[in-house]
Amino acid sequence: MADKGRIKKELTELSRDTKSGVTVEVKSEDMHELEGTISGPEGTPYEGGTYVITISIPRGYPFEPPKMKFLTKIWHPNISSQTGAICLDILKDQWSPALTIKTALLSLQALLCSPEPEDPQDAQVATMYKQDPAKFRQTAKFWTETYAQKSDGESAAISRLVEMGFSRDRAVAALAQAGGDETEAVNKLLSS
């Protein structure tokens, strides 16, 4: 039942809009696979990051919600740090056909501003958010820098770890786990 006319209209509208920090790109000919991006909101640990979201339009659209998932890794209580799955009511039972892909992406942006740790997707992140807000911010920021920014230059910490003889992948993973804390990352690498 997916209405191509409606998707087309939505895309035209999106292409006109340059202010909201939201873009959508068509990935398949039938317009059922899309890729959206949102920019990390200012004043959050996600600021400066660009997040890619895969969007899959179901047959029942717009009566059924679009399926969305973060492709870019992100440290957020309502988004899985492993799979990018999102826990957001309007993408589930609170979806309304009067909503659009754009409004859904804007809701995701809003979710980045105000996490809902009581309804978590990633328990580990949510626990950190509640118990150690400072460490949460640090980790989220590091993930933003590591995964959500154009990799024109590696962070100095990664370079130093690589110089110490660790592979680049392992260095990145260890730093991500340690929330950007270099000493902790080194300890992790040495003990593993």
Partner 1 sequence: MSEEEEDENYVYSDEDELELEEEEEEVYAPPSHGRASEEGASSRGSTESAAMGGKRLQDGTYTLIERSEVEAAMLAKAREVSELLEVSASCAEVLLRYTGWSSERLMEQFLADPEKVSSRCGVDKWTGGCEGSTASSLDSDVALPPAPSGGLTCRICFLEVPASEALTAPCGHSFCGECYEGYLANKIDEGSSCVHATCPEDKCTTLVPPKLWQRALSGIPDKLAKYKTFRIDNFITFSKELRWCPAPNCGKVVRAGACVASVKCAPGGCGFSFCMKCGEEAHQPASCELVQQWAEKCQNESETANWILANTKRCPKCQTRIEKNQGCNHMSCSQCKHEFCWMCMGDWSEHGASTGGYYKCNKFDPLKATDEESDSARAKRELDRYLHYYKRYHGHDQAQKFAVKQLEATEKRMVELQESTHGSWIDVQFLKTANEMVIDCRRALKSTYIFGYYLDPSATKQRELFENLQEHLERFTETLSEMTEQPLETMDRTEVVNITRVTESFLHNLISGAESGLDVVPDAKDPTTKPTVAAS
Q: Which of 186, 170, 176 is nearest to 81 (CA)?
A: 176
* DSSP-assigned letters across all residues of 88-113: -GGGTTT--TT--HHHHHHHHHHHHH
Shortest CA distance to 177 belongs to which of 146, 145, 139, 141?
Answer: 139
Can 87 be counted among the known catalytic residues? yes
Give the gyration radius of the chain's Cα atoms: 18
What DSSP designation does 93 have?
A: T
Site for partner 1 in 18-77 (CB under 8 A): 60, 62-64
For residue 146, give the nearest of 110, 185, 118 by alpha carbon.
Answer: 185
Shortest distance, position 15 Cβ to partner 1, whole Å:
15
x/- binding map, residues 76-95, to partner 1, per CB under 8 A?
A: --------------x-----
- The yes or no reply on residue 114 touching partner 1 (CB under 8 A) is no
Of the two residues 28 and 96, which places its CB atom closer to partner 1 in the complex?
96
Smallest separation, CB 13 to partner 1 (Å)? 9
From candidates 3, 25, 47, 182, binder to partner 1 by CB under 8 A: 3
Active-site positions read 87
Residues that bind partner 1 (CB under 8 A): 1, 3, 5-6, 9-10, 60, 62-64, 90, 96-99, 103
